[in-house]
Structure 1
Amino acid sequence: MIYLELLKIYLLSIMYKFVLIILLFSKITFASNFSLDEFDIEINSNFLGKEVVLFGNKDKESSIIFIFEGEDKEAKLTTKVKEGYLWINKTRNLNNQPSFFAIFTTPKKTLNEIFLLSTLKDKHPLISNPSLRLYEIRKAMKSKNLYIEEELENLNGNLFLKKFLIPDNISPGNIKVYMYELKNDQIIKMSSKNLIIKKGGISFKLEELLKKESFIYIFILIVISLLLSLLTNLIFRRK
């Protein structure tokens, strides 16, 4: 019985999700536009990743390129380097690397085709050129599920859809979502939205309390420790 109830809840949640997508589709069918099924994702110690649905519509004659780009952060890149007869691991410190990066296109475009678009190259350094250095960074991010390069699913001539996973190792921060509309390999429109990844849960709230109100936090810890001490003494006295 419990299994059937859980299955019912799961099916209802899926149904509500698709109803929401249909309603949102109806709002954006008169111009090239896009949306996500949610724009705020909360992560905590139990976060196992989150599926996100990207959807929208476009002109039938247009090409679409989506770029999801996380906030810049410091990172380390480890590669195997041959020195003499031995292969050794070499680690480099990287600055201003996006925490997450994804490219979705329709019709499908390769990175070599995207490299020819100067506007995209100038705005997104991770795909600015076909150098070995950037290739190694993208490869390392892909191994951690932080880099995606896939095609959008066409539902008919002008509607598109894509499901993808925000991995469990995502860093909190803002992921900028860019939509580029192209005709004859020229960008004719660009729009952007934000996907917010934020920390949640009790541990995060305690961290925030420690940062903002350190005195109150320490006072609470002292009170809790005193109460535990008194409780322990009472238990031993009864024995």
Structure 2
Amino acid sequence: MHHVEHVMGTVVSIDLADELPPAVLETMIGDACQWLHEVDRRFSTYRDDSEVSRFRRRELTLEECSPDMRHVLEACADLWRETDGYFDAYAAGPLDPSGYVKGWSVEIASARLAEAGSVRHCVNAGGDIRVRGLAASGKPWRVGIRHPWEADKLSWVLSVTDCAVATSGTYERGDHVVNPRSGKPARGLRSVTVVGPDLAIADAYATAALAMGEPGIGWLAKLVPDGYESAAVTEDGRAFSTAGLPAAV
């Protein structure tokens, strides 16, 4: 079953390959979408009534925030330390945890699908992808990584199961990633893809590496022992990937 939902300022596609009754699959999808809309309402920086906006205006103290909000803030703080400050929810000024929230929300949506009985699915939120089990073909899911200059071409095709794929780049949203050291738009890398066990972490790592510029390639290589493989394309067109990147044959 295939479903498309417009939420969190992007298009989210949900594909379920489980051999279950359609009504059961529809209920699973409905629950996942309900969760994603709930996250959008609470964490959108574009809504004046969201929890994030109220916290930014100091209408809520940390103690008054929801457990999810406190988790997001703690995770962003941990990632700031882990990335030497390159993943910074305050890089552009006011608090904006979007670089963590989207991946985290899709990771949770996938977990909820699994808890409901779906062991074969793919959730794709604008290039942030979480897959479990095998595709309907009985083979691993195939994920195409867009060419950073030619939208109709691919840089890599990945063959994945039970993992997350996150891509951060400058080719769609322009200079949306800021180097927190300089306060200026990130330079040096055009596209970064990270593959690993947790989408929230993979997404944050991809953003941090993009902010670092070319030194981010070496930094990403150090994450391999933790289960995170990566690929990157520089602004001058060079491509790099770690040896364990699950590229399709």
Q: What TM-score range do you get, normalising by the shorter chain?
A: under 0.3
Q: Which has the higher strand share?
A: 1
TM-score, reference length from structure 2: 0.23
Q: Which has the higher contact order (CA 8 A, sep 6+)?
A: 1
TM-score, reference length from structure 1: 0.24
